[in-house]
Chain A
């Protein structure tokens, strides 16, 4: 009996917090899912605000769990969770960065071109501006 009491955790001592740590990971993973579902909202697509909300909440839960339960696996889950947040932030703001376009910024007149359209008919810039202004939309293509 005395031995058992000695081995029992003290009242304010370590708690088992594996489940909260896992819950934190689930919350974080909801972030990118929310991002995909909210792509139609330009502000959220650009900033990832909804996703960051979920991911920061997930990290807070995981870190609290690791503070309450110092076991390696709980701390590892907190580190993984913070890693997810950093990876998402990297993808949103570093990997996704477009190159500077100084030449485009300084063009005064649109350079002439003649390109084939989807039906392989040649179309020139002057064809396009024959009736009025043309909005040229450069996009990355489909693959």
Chain B
């Protein structure tokens, strides 16, 4: 799932009071250029020190440029009290769910709009 494809999920999620946030290890200025280029309706958060990746258990050691750690691609739905309602990780690098598949998974878990 590419970030730009998430636009349609963000629209449907927003109508149910929710939102999307993307997280990567990129510094904010790099994320800003991506954010501007794709004109994303949700923020890209910068986990530069990988503390959030470690807390979530999503570190892919040495898989980034120059052998740095990057995220294992993953999506999770968190409700307002912090409980994880749904989660998915990629088994293969090319394993990206379609936006419709993600929406079909999370829609039944959301409070009715």
List the interface of chain A (C-beta within 8 A of B): 42, 45-46, 48, 92-93, 96-99, 101-105, 107-113, 115-120, 123, 125, 128-143
Contact = CB atoms under 8 A, between A and B. Distances in A.
B57 interface: yes
Interface string B49-74: 00111011110110111000011111
A115 B25 CA distance: 11
Interface string B30-55: 11101100000001111100011101
Main secondary structure of the interface of B (DSSP, over half): mixed
10 contacts: A48-B94, A104-B72, A110-B76, A113-B47, A113-B55, A118-B32, A136-B75, A137-B74, A139-B22, A141-B24
Contacts of A99: 60-61, 72
Nearest to A103: B57
Contacts, number: 207
By Cβ-Cβ distance, the 9 closest A-B pairs, closest first, are: A103-B57, A132-B17, A111-B55, A115-B45, A141-B24, A117-B43, A118-B32, A104-B57, A132-B18
